[in-house]
């Protein structure tokens, strides 16, 4: 696996407490296109458990270190909570990309081997990084809410040109904005209270028409597959990085 000379695609998703209906909607798109995503879990989900058991998804943890977090009142309590949900997880991405050296060191002590906790939106030439804590850091290339906060257009052309450049192309898609095709901050703020409870029928009935997260992501994934670009799992990229760095035996 070459990290530098070609686009290296990977699909990830911060669950952000979304209902199983939202997770299922994104997972179905991935399955249709033969993509194994990594879901960063904020809570235990029976659907997510099944997807992982069937090899249709990978799971990492999505700890919330922000004030008022339901995960815990301090970083150690937060990590106790999320790693209690998915103790097999080897990868982490913090909610809102919260980061610190003590948090990174604690992750390593608890068995996390790599993270994807840096968003370098549409930056060219991204490569795996070696964090001072010992974590391998795999930066995010594109995220849905960064797209709308920056006012980027929802047409594929400009983004596709960036995707086709060499380097890591880790995409981060949130299930709730994807399922409802949300395309701006105001709509998200108005609807986000429904994220935890929206069912399959409501997903379909309340999905926004026009251009948004869902239409752009589907166009990107479908175009990538049509053009023969392969999607790698996040764990594949990590293991390739480690193997590449190991000296010959």
pLDDT in tens, 33-44: 999 999 999 999
Does 247 score more than 60 pLDDT? no
Domain membership flag for residue 67? no
Domain of 146, in residue numbers: 7-58+115-245
Look at residue 95 and tell me if it is in a domain. Answer: no
DSSP run (H or E) holding 40: strand 38-41
Q: Is residue 22 part of a domain?
A: yes
pLDDT band at 1 (very low <50, low <70, confident <90, very high): very low
| Bridge partners (DSSP) listed for residue 142 | 171
Residue 189 lies in a domain: yes
Question: Does residue 63 lie within any of the structural domains?
Answer: no
With cut-offs at 50, 70 and 90, classify the pLDDT of residue 242: confident
Residue 144 and residue 147: Cα distance in Å, rounded?
5
- Measuring CA to CA, which residue among 40, 32, 68 is closest to residue 172? 40
Give 249's pLDDT tier (boundaries 50, 70, 90). very low
Tens of pLDDT, residue by residue over 182-207, are 999 999 999 999 999 999 999 999 99
Q: How confident is the model at residue 243 (pLDDT cuts 50, 70, 90)?
A: confident
CATH code for the domain of 143: 3.20.20.370
- Decide: helix, strand or coil at residue 142: strand
- Assess contact for 231 and 36: CB atoms under 8 A: yes
User: Contact, 231 vs 122, CB < 8 A?
Assistant: no
Tally of structural domains, the chain? 1
CA distance 151 to 244: 38
- What pTM does this model have? 0.95
């Amino acid at each position: 696996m070459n990290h530098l000379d070609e686009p290296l695609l990977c699909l990830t998703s911060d669950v952000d407490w979304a209902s199983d209906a939202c997770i299922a909607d994104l997972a179905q798109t991935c399955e249709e296109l033969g993509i194994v995503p990594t879901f960063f879990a904020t809570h235990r989900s029976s659907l997510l458990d099944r997807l992982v058991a069937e090899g249709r998804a990978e799971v990492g943890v999505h700890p919330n270190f922000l004030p008022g977090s339901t995960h815990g009142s301090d970083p150690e309590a937060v990590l106790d909570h999320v790693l209690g949900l998915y103790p097999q997880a080897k990868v982490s991405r913090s909610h809102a990309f919260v980061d610190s050296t003590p948090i990174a060191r604690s992750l390593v002590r608890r068995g996390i081997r790599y993270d994807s906790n840096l968003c370098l939106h549409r930056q060219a030439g991204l490569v795996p990084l070696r964090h001072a804590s010992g974590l391998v850091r795999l930066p995010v290339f594109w995220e849905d809410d960064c797209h709308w906060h920056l006012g980027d257009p929802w047409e594929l052309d400009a983004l596709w040109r960036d995707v086709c450049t060499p380097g890591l192309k880790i995409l981060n898609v949130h299930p709730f904005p994807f399922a409802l095709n949300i395309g701006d901050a105001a709509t998200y703020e108005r609807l986000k209270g429904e994220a935890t409870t929206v069912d399959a029928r409501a997903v379909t009935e309340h999905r926004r028409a026009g251009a948004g997260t869902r239409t752009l992501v589907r166009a990107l994934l479908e175009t990538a597959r049509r053009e023969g670009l392969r999607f790698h799992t996040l764990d594949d990229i990590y293991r390739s990085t480690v193997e590449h760095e190991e000296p010959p035996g």
